[in-house]
A and B are shown apart, each in its own frame.
Chain A
Amino acid sequence: MQKILSLKNIEKNYGNKDYTTKVLKGIDLDIYANDFIAIMGPSGSGKTTLLNILSTIDKPTHGQLILNGQDLTHISNKVLSKIRRDQIGFIFQDYNLLDTMSLEDNIALPLSLNGVAAGKIREKVRELANLFGLTEHLKKYPYQLSGGQKQRGATCRALITDPEIIFADEPTGALDSKASRDLLERLKLVNERGQATILMVTHDAFSASYAKEVYILSDGRIQSRLTCGASRKDFYDRIIDMQASMGSDFA
């Protein structure tokens, strides 16, 4: 299996030398092609910091972040920007669709900025919209869409460049349970078809149960790892048990 992303002893400190807060205390993690990983943890466990480092928005204090064999910890911001644009897809909790353009143009945006031919872009937009049940909504503007539709649209936008990996930050955080299930089913489908490697940060056990593996982060370290079995229901129960045993405030 091809290794896509590798974290080696990642540490992140904030503050100055008199007063330092260690947020991440040595994280090791390997992500392979077609993985679907959920990272869970209580408030303050370092989830968001980890995601920021993974998505190259923040830099670690120590350690290495290797994407497709390339160490990202010591390269220029310009190159990082390009990597984010070409190799990474993002799904945010609050959708982050641009309200100035239609859903179709939102999804097309990354490819149009990359100079891909319009015909090819339209074909790809249609294909993804079809997969995510958005064909009828392509001409609409974000303010005319429901939360679920917006998040599915944002997912299409993340997928359109065929990124090596997709980072999803609490993708169901602002959705009701039906819309959440709808989104997660489709994410799972894309993953199973081999179209995407996904790393999702969530506090929600239900969302996490759609992943193949769940890592529990606590106090800046990976405390445990759960692997999905045959049944999602069973996996969900195990995640809940783990949360209960840790006893912290999962949020």
Chain B
Amino acid sequence: MSMLKLAFLNFKTSFKNYLSLVISLVFSILVLFNYLNLIFSDSLDSIMDKQNIQAVIAAVVFVLVCFMFFFIWYASNVFLQRRKKDIGIYIFMGLTNSQIGQLYMIETGLIGLVSIALGIGLGMVTSRLFTMILMAISQISVDIHFQLFLEPVLITALLFLAIFGFMMIKGYWNIVHSSILEMVQATRQNEYVHTNKAILVFKGVLGLLVLAGGCYVGIKDRGVEALGNALIAVVLVTIGIYLFFGGILPLIFQHLVKKKAFLYQKTRNLWVNSFVFRIQKNYRTYAMVCVLLLCSVTVLATSFAMYLRYQGIVNFRNTYTYQITSFQEGEEDLYADLINQDNTVDYQSSLPLLLVDSSYIDTPYKNNLYAFVRYSDVVKISEASGLKLDFDAPDDNEVVELSRLYLMSFADPSENESMTVNHETYQGIASSTVPFLGQYQENMDFTVVSDHVYEKLEEIGTEIYLYNYHIEDPANGQASQDELNTVANESRSFLFVDPTSPDIEWVRLIYSVCIFLFLVFALASGSILFMKIYNDAYEERGRYTILQKMGVAYEQLQSSIKSEQCIAYLLPYGLMSITSYFAIKALSNAMHEDLWLINLGSVLVIGVILWICYLLSVRAYMKNANIAKR
């Protein structure tokens, strides 16, 4: 029998073992392919900011490829370890290490080829559906037609072939350089290593400190430093999680095994011991899954937050349908009458703005023009437009900044800058993103001052008037444009806010892209745990045969397995839930929004996904370990 034939036979018979790996690989390849296809397609041409979208997708593709690399690395290690046990048999059959290495290479290659072929094939079939779902989640209406390009196929295939090629060579190298004894003994490895308590305590405490340090660094700053800190936090949290699982977890469980009053209850004697027995090997898996879950919860929260922020920006913009600036006072009714010819004004307001040349101003950030408004005018406007006033009246030496909603910003809104106007310094006391001045507030910053200060500043500034109107049917806004144009002149400027304007639609795509990324991460986490449990079950067969012979009831075995699996899923999930608070906190610092509800929601969504994985793995485990109701 040729090597190829033998490898193919092996692959065929153990395909079930590879199934969970192949499924998650196929899904990831499918997502990657579709993202790439989207970059090349013209589906997004109608959206103005195609470049922005392409940049987002390119970044996601990069993250996806990096992630896939590590995922395949992990999975191939798991399978290599499993293969080593069969390898012992080949050695006695007289095969050389190099031949066994070749066998492994061909098998890995087959998994890779099948996954790539299925992934790209299904990707092609689902490309239109994928784009439709993406656009539907993003609420973007574009014409989607079936388009396939050669480039995404080639890029996807080449990327994965490169990754698999690397793993094949790595596996071959590993086998060729393994001693025969090591491979033969892989069949009867004793995984239990009772680690010294002092080492565990050291590892655990260090892990907790590093983890706490990472969490602290992640949320301590709100300014530009937060960006640099985020990177350090990611590294520290990852190391912390590894040390935590490698230290605290064995420590607690080794202690529990000694507490017989605890151990000899229900089925604990079975599963707690079994858990401890494997912990040295499994804690890395738990840590990896925990990190992955943390990534997925952050990605999902980013997605939700982007969605909320998008809605916020849209609402911000749609505060007024028309905004008119004029040098003339008292024109409120003139414009209202014109608008009312084709539309109905819902609410309206007007106020004077004081424009001051930048030469009078001394602040750290220089603008060309500075605009000041009276506090009493802002109160008036908030009442007319139904907007909630979120700051107190500034004193004569104080100012309040009115600014826009940023998609994401590392600037710290709590740092209220002082400003010097005409040699007098005013302390900033608050900053508001309530759109009192509508679209104008998005284009420039306004400073709210007390009425008294405003009067003082009138000497150095020019006053203009802002008229705001919101109509009942903003979609019909275009209709009143002609009437307004009849009174247009040099001293007036009209601003019409088109609610259907697509200029920030690309933001919506971010959240749907994030949702797919979340799915990939969550599926991979579930699949890693599932793979581990699936493989463990084969090794546990002997143990369960003994227990069944002893007359241990099916229900007891099932309950023991459920408890063990439940802990395997709960531990990474639990630690992720706690650390996610800090990750999301860092995100909310960047987005200047309270995201705790989103944090809770994302954790719950992941909980549901893991719950399903848990139910599936209990079933698979019982089947693989040959536990049946007799």
Which residues in A have some Cβ–Cβ distance to B below 8 Å?
Answer: 57, 77-78, 80-86, 88, 90, 92, 96, 98-102, 105, 108-113, 115-119, 121-122, 141, 143
Of the A-B pairs whose beta carbons lie under 8 Å apart in the complex, a sample of 10, sorted by A's number, is A78-B553, A80-B551, A88-B551, A92-B546, A100-B192, A100-B277, A108-B269, A115-B265, A143-B190, A143-B192
Q: Say if the beta carbon of B554 comes within 8 Å of chain A.
A: yes
Inter-chain contacts of A90 with B (CB < 8 A): 549-550
Least Cβ–Cβ distance between B186 and chain A, in angstroms:
15
Task: Assess whether B277 is in contact with A113, with CB atoms less than 8 Å apart.
Answer: no
Q: CA of A135 to CA of B630 in the docked complex: distance in angstroms? A: 37
User: Per a CB cutoff under 8 Å, which of B267, B273, B278, B543 touches A105?
Assistant: B273
Q: CA of A88 to CA of B273 in the docked complex: distance in angstroms? A: 25
Q: CA of A190 to CA of B190 in the docked complex: distance in angstroms? A: 33
Q: Say if the beta carbon of B52 comes within 8 Å of chain A.
A: no
Q: Say if the beta carbon of B177 comes within 8 Å of chain A.
A: no
Q: Which 7 A-B pairs have the closest CB atoms?
A: A84-B551, A85-B551, A101-B273, A112-B264, A100-B277, A118-B264, A96-B546
Q: Which of B208-226 contact A (CB under 8 A)?
A: none
Inter-chain contacts of A98 with B (CB < 8 A): 270, 273, 543, 546-547
Task: Assess whether A81 is in contact with B551, with CB atoms less than 8 Å apart.
Answer: yes
Task: Assess whether B273 is in contact with A100, with CB atoms less than 8 Å apart.
Answer: yes
User: Per a CB cutoff under 8 Å, which of B264, B266, B549 touches A108?
Assistant: B264
Inter-chain contacts of B277 with A (CB < 8 A): 99-101
Inter-chain contacts of A96 with B (CB < 8 A): 546, 549-550
Inter-chain contacts of B181 with A (CB < 8 A): none
Least Cβ–Cβ distance between B541 and chain A, in angstroms:
13
Which residues in B have some Cβ–Cβ distance to A below 8 Å?
Answer: 190, 192, 257, 260-270, 273-274, 276-278, 543, 546-547, 549-554, 556, 629-630
Task: Assess whether A82 is in contact with B551, with CB atoms less than 8 Å apart.
Answer: yes
Inter-chain contacts of A83 with B (CB < 8 A): 551
Inter-chain contacts of A77 with B (CB < 8 A): 629-630
Q: CA of A112 to CA of B560 in the docked complex: distance in angstroms? A: 13
Inter-chain contacts of B274 with A (CB < 8 A): 100-101
Least Cβ–Cβ distance between B475 and chain A, in angstroms:
68
With both beta carbons as reference points, the residue of chain B lying nearest to A110 in the complex is identified as: B550
Inter-chain contacts of A116 with B (CB < 8 A): 264
Least Cβ–Cβ distance between A95 and chain B, in angstroms:
9
16 more A-B residue pairs beyond the given contacts A81-B552, A99-B192, A122-B264, with a C-beta to C-beta distance below 8 A: A81-B554, A84-B550, A96-B546, A99-B543, A100-B543, A102-B273, A108-B260, A109-B270, A109-B550, A112-B265, A112-B268, A115-B265, A116-B264, A118-B264, A119-B261, A143-B192
Q: CA of A57 to CA of B545 in the docked complex: distance in angstroms? A: 12
Q: CA of A99 to CA of B547 in the docked complex: distance in angstroms? A: 12
Task: Assess whether B550 is in contact with A99, with CB atoms less than 8 Å apart.
Answer: no
Inter-chain contacts of A81 with B (CB < 8 A): 551-554, 630
Task: Assess whether B260 is in contact with A121, with CB atoms less than 8 Å apart.
Answer: yes
User: Per a CB cutoff under 8 Å, which of A78, A80, A85, A121 touches B550?
Assistant: A85
Task: Assess whether B257 is in contact with A105, with CB atoms less than 8 Å apart.
Answer: yes
Inter-chain contacts of A141 with B (CB < 8 A): 190, 192
Inter-chain contacts of A122 with B (CB < 8 A): 260, 264
Assuming the contacts A81-B630, A101-B269, asked whether A113 and B552 have C-beta atoms less than 8 A apart, the reply is: yes
Least Cβ–Cβ distance between A238 and chain B, in angstroms:
33
Inter-chain contacts of B267 with A (CB < 8 A): 113
Inter-chain contacts of A118 with B (CB < 8 A): 260-265
Q: CA of A230 to CA of B243 in the docked complex: distance in angstroms? A: 66
Least Cβ–Cβ distance between B563 and chain A, in angstroms:
13
Inter-chain contacts of B266 with A (CB < 8 A): 115
Least Cβ–Cβ distance between B257 and chain A, in angstroms:
7
Least Cβ–Cβ distance between B489 and chain A, in angstroms:
89
With both beta carbons as reference points, the residue of chain A lying nearest to B554 in the complex is identified as: A81
Residue among A78, A112, A141, A143 with the highest chain B CB neighbour number at 10 A = A112
Task: Assess whether B263 is in contact with A105, with CB atoms less than 8 Å apart.
Answer: yes
Q: CA of A77 to CA of B553 in the docked complex: distance in angstroms? A: 10
Inter-chain contacts of B190 with A (CB < 8 A): 99, 141, 143
Q: CA of A113 to CA of B551 in the docked complex: distance in angstroms? A: 11
Least Cβ–Cβ distance between B375 and chain A, in angstroms:
73
Residue among A77, A99, A110, A121 with the highest chain B CB neighbour number at 10 A = A99
Inter-chain contacts of B261 with A (CB < 8 A): 118-119
Task: Assess whether B552 is in contact with A85, with CB atoms less than 8 Å apart.
Answer: yes
Residue among A80, A85, A118, A122 with the highest chain B CB neighbour number at 10 A = A118
Q: CA of A82 to CA of B261 in the docked complex: distance in angstroms? A: 24
Task: Assess whether B549 is in contact with A57, with CB atoms less than 8 Å apart.
Answer: yes
Inter-chain contacts of B549 with A (CB < 8 A): 57, 90, 92, 96
Inter-chain contacts of A80 with B (CB < 8 A): 551
Least Cβ–Cβ distance between A115 and chain B, in angstroms:
8
Least Cβ–Cβ distance between A143 and chain B, in angstroms:
5
Q: CA of A1 to CA of B626 in the docked complex: distance in angstroms? A: 41
Q: CA of A77 to CA of B277 in the docked complex: distance in angstroms? A: 31
